[in-house]
């Protein structure tokens, strides 16, 4: 009887050990691997030219950058698990470990740097306006006074213009950028404002080719970085990958591919750690 009790107890201990091993086996390490097979990356799903989910897959500049970085980290395209990273969820997703890094028009700010780390920047964008191709009366921020200016509900871009640059602009808020584009096309609004990279992505869509142009106003600097969990050793590895992407020409090719149809006059690739205020 004593032998049976010991054997039974040993079996329980063994079962618990195996269970713990199984549970631990699915945990992703700081390098983003789960058994070396997958890496979870956060992107936007609804921004043409930057991060967009389509029936054919995922496309955009951020997607191309993230795919290049993942390759340098040892992951092929089929090993990437894309996860939607909405603006309000990005810090939480990184802190929880839902993703290993995020490339999603993620501007580097002091407030965000208190919560997460950033590699990069990999793109210097600016707040700008999108205009109809035949618009000739808006050449400076002050020209927006008296004009119907559109941005999405909850956006700070239009408020920034209204508060600092063109206080007499007639601010219109729509639920989506697509709705703003429709209003711009029909003449219901005069200008749409947000980051120039986002505007270029929308304007580059086939159905809008030749209908819109960027104002080139450069009202703010937006330093796009790749977000990682605070203290992660991925930051240095991603920075190295970004430097390689610039030096081998892949960065410039990705810019032309995703923004070219909108005649986007992009800034040169920023140097790692060079944050423009």
- Whole-number pLDDT of residue 154: 67
In CATH terms, is domain 126-214 a member of 3.40.50.300? no
Closest CA to 61 of 222, 245, 218: 245
Q: Which residues lie below 8 Å from residue 38, measured CB to CB, with a gap of 6+?
A: 75, 79, 80, 81
CB 150 within 8 A of CB 187: no
- Whole-number pLDDT of residue 28: 45
Q: Which residues lie below 8 Å from residue 179, measured CB to CB, with a gap of 6+?
A: none
81 φ/ψ sector (left φ>0, alpha ψ -120 to 50, else beta): beta
pTM of the predicted model over 0.75 = yes
Written out in words, the top-level CATH class of the domain with range 39-124+223-262 is: alpha beta
Q: Collapsing DSSP states into helix, strand and coil, what is residue 101?
A: strand
Do the domains spanning 39-124+223-262 and 126-214 agree at the CATH topology level? yes
Residue ranges per structural domain of the chain: 39-124+223-262, 126-214
- Whole-number pLDDT of residue 24: 41
CB 270 within 8 A of CB 123: yes
Within a 13 Å sphere around the CA of 215, how many CA atoms are in the beta-carbon half? 26
220-247 residues labelled b (16+ CB within 10 A) or e (exposed):
bebbbbbbbbeebebbebbbebbeebbe
- Distance from chain centroid for Cα 61: 9
- Whole-number pLDDT of residue 178: 86
Please state whether beta strands 57-59 and 170-174 pair in parallel, antiparallel, or not at all (unpaired).
Answer: unpaired
Closest CA to 131 of 212, 185, 53: 212
- Whole-number pLDDT of residue 10: 46
Please state whether beta strands 80-84 and 39-43 pair in parallel, antiparallel, or not at all (unpaired).
Answer: parallel
The total number of residues written for the chain in this structure = 277
d(CA 193, CA 156): 10
Q: Let me know how many helices (H) and strands (E) the chain has, helices first.
A: 9, 12
CB atoms within 10 A of CB 108: 21
CA angle 261–157–144, rounded 5-degree value = 80
Mean pLDDT per 10-residue run, the chain (277 residues)? Answer: 44 42 42 67 95 96 98 97 94 98 95 97 96 95 96 81 92 89 95 95 89 93 97 98 98 93 89 96
Instruction: Give Rg (Cα) of the chain.
Output: 23
């Amino acid at each position: 009887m004593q032998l049976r009790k010991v054997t039974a107890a040993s079996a329980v201990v063994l079962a618990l050990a195996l269970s713990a091993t199984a549970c631990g086996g699915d945990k992703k390490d700081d390098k983003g691997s789960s058994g070396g097979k997958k890496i979870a990356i956060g992107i936007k799903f609804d921004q043409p030219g930057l991060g967009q989910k389509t029936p054919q897959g995922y496309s955009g500049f951020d997607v191309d950058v993230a795919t290049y970085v993942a390759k340098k980290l040892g992951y092929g395209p089929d090993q990437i698990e894309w996860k939607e990273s909405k603006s309000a969820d990005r810090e939480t997703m990184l802190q929880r470990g839902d993703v290993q890094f995020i490339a999603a028009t993620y501007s580097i700010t002091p407030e965000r740097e208190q919560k997460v780390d950033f590699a990069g920047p990999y793109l210097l964008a600016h707040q700008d306006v999108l205009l109809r191709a035949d618009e000739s009366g808006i050449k400076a921020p002050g020209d927006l006074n008296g004009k119907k200016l559109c941005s999405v509900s909850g956006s700070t871009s239009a408020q920034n213009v209204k508060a600092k640059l063109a206080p007499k602009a007639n601010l219109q808020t729509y639920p989506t950028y697509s709705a703003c584009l429709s209003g711009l096309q029909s003449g219901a609004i005069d200008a749409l404002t947000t980051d120039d990279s986002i505007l270029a992505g929308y304007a580059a869509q086939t159905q809008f080719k030749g209908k819109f142009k960027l104002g080139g106003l450069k009202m703010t600097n937006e330093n796009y970085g790749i977000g990682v969990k605070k203290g992660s050793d991925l930051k240095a590895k991603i920075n190295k990958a970004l430097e390689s992407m610039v030096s081998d020409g892949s960065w410039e090719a990705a810019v032309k591919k995703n923004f070219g149809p909108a005649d986007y006059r992009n800034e040169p690739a920023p140097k790692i750690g060079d944050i423009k205020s």
